[in-house]
Chains A and B, each alone.
Chain A
């Protein structure tokens, strides 16, 4: 019996093809927009997450307990070599890099400019997602890499010798000459703006920090392990005087941005709802009013009103599902078509207007690789089915209350 209802409902969709097509279009466009938005937002979230957990912050960090408050050079972790090998014992840990950050002056000629010495573990940072992963030749001892914005500002070129002057951890004068090996552009904005990147050993010597570091950056082998790693390390006696934090607690603002991109998805979902309601409700109202006489005839023959209601609801759901299927195909087509090469959102801001977006010392790349999860299309489908049923309530109510004799006079 329901089969026949479905069959009639299906055929009824063909009665006014133009109107049905319009309703389908409204829903399909909405679902497409939802998936395209989801795809872009997921791609963007991936960028943010990678930028955070990749080169700059890593998944987990270890510091002197006061480092994050005062950023003073002497708030350092001692016996870094042993700490690093202890961290490597954790099964989920991939790369470990120890870093030193120190404010200095850099002088290519007579003038001096403010800069930041970033000393880091060259081997570890040369692996994928490391700060040096894009480098052609490994960073050599006695040489430095210079952030591209700093280099532009002070007019430094590769091969040039620069003087680096600052205060060492013990209060003495730190002072040495380095060759600029290369100019770098990397996801860590602090490095682009002011970075003088050198090996950890060079930094330790320059700043008189034997076997010390300000920060240890840990990258997990797979994502989603940061809290586990944090918990295990914190429990080890060697870390009694060391603060270990997952990235979510180090950059909570960025976690917020990630959450916000989810809300954009919800907003798109609301648009799908509204478009679906408008499309389906309009179609159903019009087709119901047109068929009052026909419904009257069916009621006169003895058809139960709920049977007619079921037919209308069925029509609504068919339109809804069909529209979602079309929209899903278009949406997946869009994402599949752009996933490989990505979309350069920076170019949307006009020629040369925006490069990348810098936030909290992090450079968030605007080249987005759209990506979808199965749940994305499901949400639209559920939304549209609920909406279809909601949109059919009013016409179904009207149809269900028709008096056969009066309806047949229509």
Chain B
């Protein structure tokens, strides 16, 4: 197995059981993601995008099939081990409310670094990341003093602060206007290109899809299409 493979899914299925009702969210997904991928998961609402990202992010466990993330067999891990994997190796950007409301942007970044066990240098590292991403002006503001776009950018800064191998983002632009979506995606792609951080994000916004180098289409819990573009810069600008 090549070490450049970060995520490897074989026949992954996920069935949600609510009472007597079974919802087949994923019906046998086979896919690999490699270091440096900048991949969009697209598909209609209910096609299984969130379910898939939750499994890859070790937030949930598949019903069947095999899923290896960063060399770990997710189904064999304890809750605690999965939490540690998330904390130390995966960055997350959620759709909204990513930040702790009572902490400033800088403190939000520091908080996760601290959870990871970073010592005294965490404050400098948080400043560095925010500056690098052009967010220094927001560092002492609390989330309610930031726009939705600004909050999402701080969330990306937090996700990459500890240099994770993999960043997962479930519809990160869902609450943003076009301009802010552009800014966020450019920022993510710059990080991908400059630092080689792998991004997998879901979206149903065609404008956002144009930034992806690889587009995986889910339909009804199955992979319908998996296209890798030759040049990522060809479309968006």
A interface residues, Cβ below 8 angstroms from B: 1, 4, 8, 11-12, 14-15, 293-294, 297-304, 307, 404-405, 408
Number of A-B contacts (CB under 8 A): 49
Residue of B nearest to A4 (CB): B114
Asked if A302 and B115 make an inter-chain contact with CB atoms under 8 angstroms apart, the answer reads yes
Sampled A-B contacts (17; CB under 8 Å): A1-B114, A8-B100, A8-B102, A11-B103, A12-B102, A15-B102, A293-B97, A300-B57, A300-B59, A300-B86, A300-B92, A300-B94, A301-B92, A302-B85, A302-B86, A302-B115, A405-B59
Whether A302 touches B84, Cβ cut-off 8 Å, given contacts A8-B103, A15-B102, is yes
Asked if A297 and B87 make an inter-chain contact with CB atoms under 8 angstroms apart, the answer reads no
A298 — which chain B residues lie within 8 A by C-beta?
100
A298 to B102, CA, bound (A): 13
A15 CB to closest chain B CB, in angstroms? 7
Whether A294 touches B86, Cβ cut-off 8 Å, given contacts A4-B111, A8-B103, A303-B115, is no
Interface of A is mostly: helix
A298 to B87, CA, bound (A): 10
B101 — which chain A residues lie within 8 A by C-beta?
15, 294
Residue of B nearest to A10 (CB): B102
Asked if B87 and A294 make an inter-chain contact with CB atoms under 8 angstroms apart, the answer reads no
Asked if B111 and A405 make an inter-chain contact with CB atoms under 8 angstroms apart, the answer reads no
B92 CB to closest chain A CB, in angstroms? 6
Asked if A297 and B83 make an inter-chain contact with CB atoms under 8 angstroms apart, the answer reads no
A297 — which chain B residues lie within 8 A by C-beta?
94, 97-98
A314 to B203, CA, bound (A): 39
| CB of B5 within 8 Å of the partner chain | no
Whether A304 touches B102, Cβ cut-off 8 Å, given contacts A1-B114, A294-B97, A404-B59, is no
B interface residues, Cβ below 8 angstroms from A: 54, 57, 59-60, 80, 83-88, 92, 94, 97-98, 100-103, 111-112, 114-115
A304 to B80, CA, bound (A): 8
A408 — which chain B residues lie within 8 A by C-beta?
94
Asked if A302 and B87 make an inter-chain contact with CB atoms under 8 angstroms apart, the answer reads yes
Asked if B60 and A405 make an inter-chain contact with CB atoms under 8 angstroms apart, the answer reads yes
Asked if B60 and A301 make an inter-chain contact with CB atoms under 8 angstroms apart, the answer reads no
A250 CB to closest chain B CB, in angstroms? 64
A15 — which chain B residues lie within 8 A by C-beta?
101-102
B141 CB to closest chain A CB, in angstroms? 14
B86 — which chain A residues lie within 8 A by C-beta?
300-302
Residue of A nearest to B80 (CB): A304
A299 — which chain B residues lie within 8 A by C-beta?
83
A300 — which chain B residues lie within 8 A by C-beta?
57, 59, 86, 92, 94
A8 to B101, CA, bound (A): 10
A303 — which chain B residues lie within 8 A by C-beta?
83, 87, 115
A293 to B97, CA, bound (A): 8
Residue of A nearest to B51 (CB): A405
Q: Of B80, B102, B103, B112, which one neighbours A301 at CB under 8 angstroms?
A: B112
B54 — which chain A residues lie within 8 A by C-beta?
405
Q: Ordered nearest first, which 9 A-B pairs have the shortest CB separation?
A: A302-B87, A11-B102, A302-B86, A302-B83, A405-B59, A405-B60, A404-B59, A405-B54, A12-B102
A11 — which chain B residues lie within 8 A by C-beta?
102-103
A131 to B97, CA, bound (A): 78
Q: A1-B114, A302-B115, A405-B59 are in contact. List 7 more A-B contacts (CB 8 A).
A: A8-B100, A293-B97, A294-B97, A302-B83, A302-B85, A307-B115, A405-B60
A282 CB to closest chain B CB, in angstroms? 20
Residue of B nearest to A299 (CB): B83
Asked if A14 and B102 make an inter-chain contact with CB atoms under 8 angstroms apart, the answer reads yes
Whether A301 touches B59, Cβ cut-off 8 Å, given contacts A12-B102, A15-B102, A405-B54, is no
B98 — which chain A residues lie within 8 A by C-beta?
297
Asked if B59 and A294 make an inter-chain contact with CB atoms under 8 angstroms apart, the answer reads no
B114 — which chain A residues lie within 8 A by C-beta?
1, 4
Residue of B nearest to A293 (CB): B97
Residue of A nearest to B89 (CB): A302
Q: Of A8, A293, A301, A405, which one neighbours B87 at CB under 8 angstroms?
A: A301
Asked if A294 and B94 make an inter-chain contact with CB atoms under 8 angstroms apart, the answer reads no
B102 — which chain A residues lie within 8 A by C-beta?
8, 11-12, 14-15
B57 CB to closest chain A CB, in angstroms? 8
A1 — which chain B residues lie within 8 A by C-beta?
114
Max count, chain B CB within 10 A of own CB: residue among A293, A301, A405: A301
A297 to B151, CA, bound (A): 14
A294 — which chain B residues lie within 8 A by C-beta?
97, 100-101
A8 to B112, CA, bound (A): 13
B115 — which chain A residues lie within 8 A by C-beta?
301-303, 307
Max count, chain B CB within 10 A of own CB: residue among A297, A300, A302: A302
B111 — which chain A residues lie within 8 A by C-beta?
4
A357 to B89, CA, bound (A): 77
Residue of B nearest to A12 (CB): B102
A4 — which chain B residues lie within 8 A by C-beta?
111, 114
Residue of B nearest to A307 (CB): B115
A111 to B237, CA, bound (A): 124
Whether A304 touches B83, Cβ cut-off 8 Å, given contacts A11-B102, A405-B59, is yes
A297 to B112, CA, bound (A): 12
A301 to B116, CA, bound (A): 10
Q: Of B88, B97, B100, B103, which one neighbours A302 at CB under 8 angstroms?
A: B88
A212 CB to closest chain B CB, in angstroms? 83
